[in-house]
Amino acid sequence: MKTIAIVGAGAGLGLSIAKKFGQNGFQVALVARNEEKLNQLAAELKQDGIEAAAFAADILDKEQITSAFNAIKDKYGFINVFEYSPIPSVKNLAGTLEVTEENALHQFQFNVLGAISSIREVLPEMLEKNTGTLLFTTGGSSIHPTPMMGNVGIAMAGLRTTFLI
């Protein structure tokens, strides 16, 4: 059975992606900070007949990411699809005129460095096996600047540019 790992899994987009892949024969590894919410999502997927499990990790903590991906591989084996879609908190958004080094750096760490840490856990095996898929779900501000999301747009454009392969 194939496996998808959804990093930044939540009740919106992450759950929708999980359901779509799960309905198409994938087992689902859900990764996010809040273990309780992840367990609720996994239970909902299981009610739909989808094999799913929660793996709590903060994408800002490289050791937690490594630990989560080791646990995913122990449970499911090879990760066929990696999907990255953490949603920034509204409280961390800064409009174009409010962008500071600190709030831009936070978004860069959240969107780009979190992705890099996560990808380093799956890409070597994908390259070795010559198979696998990386999916990045970002907002429109990665392409079209949105004034109210100045710091997020910078980071999402960075994510989009970093992983054009």
Distance CA 29, CA 42 (A): 9
> What digits encode the pLDDT tens for the residues 46-97?
999 999 999 999 999 999 999 999 999 999 999 999 999 887 767 778 888 8
Residue 163's pLDDT is 64
Residue 165's pLDDT is 54
CATH number of 2-162: 3.40.50.720
Residue 140's pLDDT is 66
Q: Is the model's pLDDT at 119 over the cut of 80?
A: yes
The DSSP output letter for 48 is T
* Residues in CB range of 53: below 8 A, 6 or more apart: 27, 28, 29, 30, 42, 72, 75, 76
Distance CA 106, CA 68 (A): 22
Q: Is the model's pLDDT at 28 over the cut of 60?
A: yes
Mean pLDDT of 105-113: 89
Task: List the chain domain ranges.
Answer: 2-162
The DSSP output letter for 78 is S
> What digits encode the pLDDT tens for the residues 120-163?
999 999 999 999 999 988 766 666 677 777 788 878 877 777 76
Distance CA 52, CA 44 (A): 9
Residue 57's pLDDT is 97
pTM: 0.90
